[in-house]
Structure 1
Amino acid sequence: MWPLEVLSLTLLGLASSGSCLPHHYTRALTPRGIITNNGDIADKYDFVIVGGGQAGLVLASRLTEDASTTVLVIEAGDSGDAIRSDLDTPAFAYYKSKLGSSYDYGYKTVAQSKLNNRAISWPRGKLLGGSSAINGMYLVRPSQVEVDAWSGLIAEDDSSAASAWSWSSLHEAMQKSEVFTPPSDEIKNLGGIRYDASKYGTSGPLHHSYPGHTFSQYADWHTTFENLGVPANGDAFSGNNWGVYIAQSTINPQNWTRSYSRSAYIDPLPPRSNLAILVNATVTRLVFADGSSGNLTATGVEFATDRDATKRTVSVGKEVILAGGAIGSPQVLMLSGIGPKDVLESAGVKVLSELPGVGQHLQDHLSTGVNFKTNVETAGGIFSEGSSLAKTPEFLSFVNSATAYVNLSTLLGGDDAAAAYRKTVADAMESSTSLVPSQNQEVLAGYKAISDVVANKLLPSSIGQAEFLLSMHAAGQIGVQAALQHPLSHGRLYINSASAFDAPTIDPNYLAHSADLTIMREGLKMARKIAQTAPLNKAVGDEISPGPSVQTDAEWDEWLVNQISTEFHCSSTCSMLPRNKGGVVNAKLQVYGTANVRVADSSIFPFTFSAHLMAPTYGVAEQAASIIRGFYNAAPPSNSNSSPSGSSSSSQPNQTNQPKNAAVSGHVASWTSWTLLSSFLLALLAL
């Protein structure tokens, strides 16, 4: 049997040589519509998606299930093909990280006054798949309490539309994205893994499972937390995500590779003539129709390949969808004249729509850890030794995934301490003008609304206020990491020039609220306690960092402000909130003041979750696709042939409709001929 790679090369070879195929097949058989020359795209598309990252590729795949709909994705980064082996190998997220490379935007915050004036590195993926192509692969869903609280914040404007963001709706959307594969009995037993597979998706594009290699310390992780009074959670995907468990990872156990938005949603597709994905092209602004002030109508998207290149504009038939994440989406809005008036005028951008919330409400998870020497075998030790085990796909699929979410009472040592903390939070709401880097009354109202949710719904619940992770990827070391989950310190992001090639100014305003410092300090104290508790303590030796000299609260505070950094979970800069609370999008994802611009990515969360943001962002993208297709009354996709498969087989193109965009139809492949060619190649495979 021919391997799949040979089949793909055969198809491409036939296309490039023109063998038995008309000339217009050349572009149709370009892998998954990825285009490197902007001269090969059409002049107009129904939808232009800004950003080919995690959410953008989900939207592209789902919207083009309707073959009468044309979609262009514009991605500033490269395809990632040159480093595909590194991306596909899960463990290389540690050992061959792309952070700091050309595949990373390499953002930095401004100096943070509460972190000893340190500027913090903010890496973000700059390639197809975005950060889902280079991240740590944790797939952790948020809690029902959090999601329903989010829906409640927007319900005062439109309760019917807000129901799309209730737990039941988002849960269904997250399930739609997933296909779960249970671990082997050996891995399950050695790692003490517990789960309820009935809560997982079974037919989505995105694979999630457990690594093919694990360590007995994972089972000890469970028992250690139970000895500390934190219960094990065997059903963390159902809306109650607190407690201790081994998280799933976005890994395809069929070949032990990373599963991310490109490999899940784009690569399994046959050629779709209605989908084009342009790489190495930076969107410089959205173009709006003259005279559309107050209800701006986007007519085009302007982009360029580099700072000095000639700009080109592609026309938009229906909508622009921003999917650039918590940094890219607000940046594009501001470059296009939508945002805080003072920011736009200072940057030399004409104000088309004053929307004060753009770039505001910026939130992030802060994190650092306590590290210890160890004599037990770690993943980092195995990899550095270079043994035969270290080269196996199963071992190279290992990524850290031992997780725990601890509630406020447990973290602070009792109900009285938790009550005192909540009072500190509530009192600070009255002085919010000193906690938010904006004096705009709408933004301040939004901060108070978000803080009220945190203080009165999230803190009193069982939801984790600190996350704990077990790290085993360093040779000779074990680490217990702690991360703040509901920051009360909000920052902002803003442009400082009219050029898309100038990085925006990022100010997370870390630790502006003293309560955040309390959570980080107590989290690190608990991290030390976890490592010193049986049975995990059997694997732990001397403390390396911070070391036994750090004991008092003052010593912890002095140490941690020089150590803590981002957990890479920035969000909320295009918050889904009422406009009078500094909101940017409504419950239908439409940008206030525009007729046909939406945002669909992690920037819409009004507050950050006690979870990694990958799972809910996939849910947002799936839900956005359903909302948009429903808005245009698109026919539902065929179950048999129009969506990416969760298996290794590819779906067939929708043959019922032809693209209606004349500029695209000039290079549409004949699906009948494609089917005949496929049949011929399948016959060869049987030889």
Structure 2
Amino acid sequence: MDEFDYLIVGAGSAGCVLASRLSEGGKYSVALLEAGGSELNFWVRMPIGYGKTFYHDHLNWKYMTEPEPGINNRQSYWPRGKVIGGSSSINAMVFIRGQAADFDGWKALGNAGWGYDDVLPVYRRMENNLAGADEWRGRGGPLTVTNIESVVHPLCKNYIAAGVEVGLTHNPDFNGRTQEGIGIYQITTRNGFRCSTATAYLNPARGRQNLKVIKEARVTRLLFEGKRAVGAEYRQGGEIKRLKARREVILSAGAVNSPQILQHSGVGDPDHLKRLGIEVVHAAPQVGRNLQDHLGFDHLYKSTKPTLNNVLRPWWGRFAVGLQYVLTRSGPLSLSVNQGGGFIRSNPERAHPNIQLYFSPVSYTRAQPGKRALLSPDVFPGFLVGVSNCHPTSRGWLGIRSNDPFAAPEIHPNYLSTDTDVAELVEAAHFLRRLSKAAPLREIIKEEMKPGPDLVSDEELAADIRARSGSVFHPCGTCAMGPDPVYSVVDARLRVHGLDGLRVIDASIFPRITSGNINAPTIMVAEKGADLVLADAA
């Protein structure tokens, strides 16, 4: 077996960061294992290309949940990046840190060093905000954050004006002093290309002699000597191979794959593992528990004014914006379709914003099954205004279903399993109605197509939410951080309770989901995790 100081499993949003930081200076040797392949793909590099990677067989794990009672026994589709850069290579690129109260909440749960004052310097260090540095924002870091307010679709102005008319504050920076308000999202792009963690962190480190990146390497299990993790077994090209870690094995395979790999390695609920014929290395019943995700839905409108449908639907429109992108790296193809956003309180009694807003100047309601038709939208001018819950109280779980390491796990999000989650989304639906009746939006709405103006009561709107809502693709929490191994998987230094030489560093360690898109917090966790690893090695 080849030996390295650190073995990182997963070259995703977190793993690329760790590989870069741990190999800096040349003191330690690092191996990075990735089940997927190269991110040098046109649909990955072009920002709006995530519409093509959404169901891509080679770039995406394409997970499906089990049928969920809370959403009328429907399954929910979960795209997850199976490529260098992980989900940062296929996501919608929206950069949202979360609320200060989110991280103070992590600290209050017993996770010392994870309060907002602790993580703010890490956020500032990791970003290169093209708008410039200030008290909250950083400049000169690896990850480029781009302000797109001057180049978004003109109808975004109507959206923001409508929000102001109903009492919201225009917020130019959801990652600044406060998250609350309505405005335009910032995205992780650089010079018209996606800025994934592969671009930001891994590629600049590729030439280091002490870093080895191994692609198309599917980890089947971790290797242990007693209670110490010493390496990993993986399959590559039909051959079983092994790598050994002299110092630590770090799982960064994401909220689905990290608990899956732990369970196949004998770390999990002992009763579950024994039923599947897996030898128990360490009893850790919380592995795969505490699963959290944001759930969202859209209201769809026909527009009286042109939307991106008018540009992206006809072949000549696609040709024109394609040529614009090729020649100048600008235009609609250089952006996300989630252009407008916001964070609101669904009622004044909420202590913090509990609903995220989305405005997309495009609609794609007639997509064929298996296709995300961002580049083939509806034939009529249309747009979407959507919401998702920031702090869902529903908790789910996931677990391996057999001893086959290549079988997808069963995923049970338990969406809308609490009355609180249903009530706040109903409040959010009523808010969308108020927003649509404000003059700046009312003047461009020809027709509310979904859910339709006939649905008005709480009961009718709740039924619509159960019928149409779905994941906004932010799974986390399945290897939760906490001081007590009875209720968590890793400690505040991200070490797996009860085992030596093993950490989990990715979105699975979130004790509670953060408010908004989770890619930025995941990168922060990896940056801070690298600090912890290096401090413990000194």
Give the alignment's TM-score, normalised by structure 1. 0.72
Return the alpha-carbon distance in structure 2 between the equivalents of residues 219 and 52 of structure 1: 38
Q: Is the 8 A contact 1:383 1:390 kept in 2?
A: no
Return the alpha-carbon distance in structure 1 between the equivalents of residues 532 and 493 of structure 2: 7
Q: Which residue of 2 aligns with 1:66?
A: 25
- How many angstroms does 1:317 deviate by? 0.6
- How many angstroms does 1:228 deviate by? 1.3
Return the alpha-carbon distance in structure 2 between the equivalents of residues 59 and 258 of structure 1: 20
Which of these residues, 126, 146, 149, is aligned with residue 177 of structure 1?
126
Q: Which residue of 2 aligns with 1:287?
A: 223
Q: Establish whether residue 299 from structure 1 lines up as the match of residue 262 from structure 2.
A: no
The secondary structure found in structure 2 opposite 1:388 is helix
The secondary structure found in structure 1 opposite 2:299 is strand
CA 1:581–1:222: 2 relative to 1, 3 Å: farther
- How many angstroms does 1:379 deviate by? 2.6
Q: Which residue of 2 aligns with 1:131?
A: 87
* Cα deviation 1:400-432 (Å, max 9, x = unaligned): 23111111xxx23x54xxxxxxxxxxxxxxxxx
Higher radius of gyration, 1 or 2:
1
The secondary structure found in structure 2 opposite 1:509 is coil
**Paired positions, count:** 512
Q: Which residue of 1 aligns with 2:373?
A: none
Which of these residues, 450, 473, 477, is aligned with residue 572 of structure 1?
477
The secondary structure found in structure 2 opposite 1:138 is coil
AA partner of residue 286 (structure 2)? G
Structure that is richer in helix per residue:
1
The secondary structure found in structure 2 opposite 1:64 is helix
Which of these residues, 341, 359, 379, is aligned with residue 288 of structure 2?
359
* Gap regions ≥5 residues in structure 2: 364-376
Q: Which residue of 2 aligns with 1:29?
A: none
Return the alpha-carbon distance in structure 1 between the equivalents of residues 224 and 206 of structure 2: 34
Which of these residues, 433, 454, 462, is aligned with residue 528 of structure 1?
433
Percent identity for Structure 1 against Structure 2: 31
- How many angstroms does 1:218 deviate by? 2.1
Q: Which residue of 1 aligns with 2:15?
A: 56
Q: How does 1:106-505 map to 2 (within 5 A)?
A: 106-155=62-111, 162-163=112-113, 165-182=114-131, 197-211=134-148, 213-238=151-176, 240-252=178-190, 255-269=191-205, 271-289=207-225, 292=226, 296-305=227-236, 309-384=238-313, 385-386=317-318, 388-392=320-324, 393-395=329-331, 396-399=333-336, 400-407=338-345, 411-412=346-347, 414-415=348-349, 460-461=350-351, 463-474=352-363, 475=377, 476-505=381-410
* Cα deviation 1:619-667 (Å, max 9, x = unaligned): 111101111111112xxxxxxxxxxxxxxxxxxxxxxxxxxxxxxxxxx
The secondary structure found in structure 1 opposite 2:522 is helix
Return the alpha-carbon distance in structure 2 between the equivalents of residues 550 and 533 of structure 1: 19
- How many angstroms does 1:263 deviate by? 0.9
Return the alpha-carbon distance in structure 2 between the equivalents of residues 88 and 539 of structure 1: 33
- How many angstroms does 1:389 deviate by? 4.2
AA partner of residue 210 (structure 1)? N
Structure that is richer in strand per residue:
2
AA partner of residue 107 (structure 1)? Y
Q: Is the 8 A contact 2:260 2:409 kept in 1?
A: yes
The secondary structure found in structure 2 opposite 1:367 is strand
Q: Which residue of 1 aligns with 2:442?
A: 537
- How many angstroms does 1:499 deviate by? 2.1
- How many angstroms does 1:234 deviate by? 3.6
Segments ≥4 residues shifted beyond 4 Å:
195-198
AA partner of residue 79 (structure 1)? S
AA partner of residue 305 (structure 2)? V
Q: Is the 8 A contact 1:109 1:508 kept in 2?
A: yes
Return the alpha-carbon distance in structure 1 between the equivalents of residues 133 and 444 of structure 2: 29
Q: Is the 8 A contact 2:262 2:287 kept in 1?
A: yes
AA partner of residue 615 (structure 1)? A
Q: How does 1:1-80 map to 2 (within 5 A)?
A: 43-80=2-39
Q: Is the 8 A contact 1:171 1:619 kept in 2?
A: no
* Cα deviation 1:464-513 (Å, max 9, x = unaligned): 21111001133511110110111111010111112220111100111111
The secondary structure found in structure 2 opposite 1:91 is helix
- How many angstroms does 1:85 deviate by? 1.8
* Gap regions ≥5 residues in structure 1: 1-41, 156-161, 183-194, 416-459, 634-687
